[in-house]
Amino acid sequence: MTKALPPLACVALVLSACQSFDRAEFARLSGRGDAMVDGRTPDVRGTDAAVDARPADGGPVQCAERMRDVGGGCSLAVIPTAPMGLQNTVDRARPVRVFAARQIAFGAGGLWQSIGFDRDGMCTTLANPTAVACRSSLPQADGMNGRDNTFGSVIASISALGSSFDETRLNRAVMRGNATLGLRLRDFGGRDDGSIIADLVPLVDGHPPGRPSDPPAWDGRDEWSIDRSLAYGADGTTARITTNEGFSSCGVVVAPFPNTAPLYFKGDVTRSQLTLTDTRIVGVLDASGNLPSIEFTSLWVRSNIFEDLRTFGACAELLPPADWLLINMGIDAALDLPASGTINPATPCSAMSVGFRVDLAPVTVTGDVNAPPPIVRDPCAAAADAGTRG
């Protein structure tokens, strides 16, 4: 079990990961009573499947690895990779599936420790701070099973110091049907498929069929439109965030998005963004072949963090100097990975590990629309122009 920092250290670095792992609190928040640390229990999202005994092509189906024992009482929640021999399967009956985010969880209240995946091959704890991927001003303890997700541990504190980017506001806009994030799967063969095309597309104007003024019912029949202004690249047709390297193995769906691209979160009057690098999404199919949830694991490179914070409304123009200093200190303390991906404990950390969970519902996409742009594109610039500097 990780140990909490002394109280004075938490005060000095209020935005850093000063949370200890409280087994009883995690059980209360998550509804699980068997939460353990460092791999002494199965993955919180399900057991570690090694081989599925279903016959296929005359033999067993090898499942993607989900947990990896690295010794010392540590099992890592690894990002699954496609096992050898996984074949491409085309499901002609369901060539395209679209799922809409109905709730986004950044991990408030300590749940960040169960969200995301290991990114560096190590279990880092406050009791063993030398197991790090790079040099940080304050080594960050991993979550359960080596999960790297300092983003989840600091985002609530950033929001509390003057940001519009929080779960409550984002989910309020989603529940009203204003806007949400969509996952589109193409050439999707279901439970075992070696080649899936996956797109992340912004959706707007969600409602039950025939009732455009009502909020979404989240019953699998809601209709949404793709926000054309945010969804596509320069050619106007290719999804801005897309991959043809997705796969599913024994019901685990994985889609890698290796490039750097912003995810847009559209509220009532602002459009916030997270410019993430090397994003992977992982979800487990249910008995109906739907994805009830997915987890994101990414890198948030320091050079992108402060530009993104402006879209949250967290910036020097709006905050008292002391609060802005705390945010800067917390960001630097939360950097826990190298942006290059090359592990070197002597090199300064340059990226923050990110993990968040998205609950999904299947939806129908009725087409593309040119949604009106947000009223305010840069809340910080607007505030400065109006003379409202904090």
Domain boundaries of the chain, sorted by first residue: 7-385
Give the whole-angstrom CA distance, residue 340 versus residue 349. Answer: 10
Q: What does the pLDDT read at residue 156?
A: 85
Q: What confidence tier does 125 reach under pLDDT thresholds 50, 70, 90? A: confident
Supply φ then ψ for residue 317, to 5 degrees. -65, -25
Supply φ then ψ for residue 50, to 5 degrees. -105, -50
Q: Is the pLDDT of residue 217 over 70?
A: yes
Give 337-364 pLDDT, tens digit per residue: 999 989 999 999 999 999 999 999 999 9
209, 204, 317: which is closest to 268 by C-alpha?
204
Q: Is the pLDDT of residue 388 over 50?
A: no
What average pLDDT does this structure show over 228-252? Answer: 93
Q: What does the pLDDT read at residue 51?
A: 35
Q: What does the pLDDT read at residue 35?
A: 31
Give the whole-angstrom CA distance, residue 99 versus residue 281. Answer: 13
Q: What does the pLDDT read at residue 375?
A: 56
Query: Which residues are CB-contacts of 112 (< 8 A; sequence separation ≥ 6)?
Result: 106, 143, 149, 151, 152, 153, 355
Query: Which of the residue ranges 93-97, 110-114, 190-194, 228-232 would you say has the lowest mean pLDDT?
Result: 93-97
**DSSP per position, 256-293:** EE-S-EEEEEE-SS-EEEEEEEEEEEEEE--TTS---E
Q: What does the pLDDT read at residue 293?
A: 97
231, 144, 135: which is closest to 183 by C-alpha?
231
Whether 202 contacts 229, CB under 8 Å: no
Crossing angle (nearest 10°) for helices 150-160 and 302-312: 40
What average pLDDT does this structure show over 61-89? Answer: 90
pTM of the model: 0.82
Q: Is the pLDDT of residue 250 over 60?
A: yes
Q: What does the pLDDT read at residue 349?
A: 94
Whether 259 contacts 298, CB under 8 Å: no
What average pLDDT does this structure show over 100-122? Answer: 92
Q: Is the pLDDT of residue 20 over 90?
A: no
Give the whole-angstrom CA distance, residue 251 versus residue 191. Answer: 4
Identify the residue with better confidence: 12 or 257: 257
What average pLDDT does this structure show over 102-116? Answer: 91
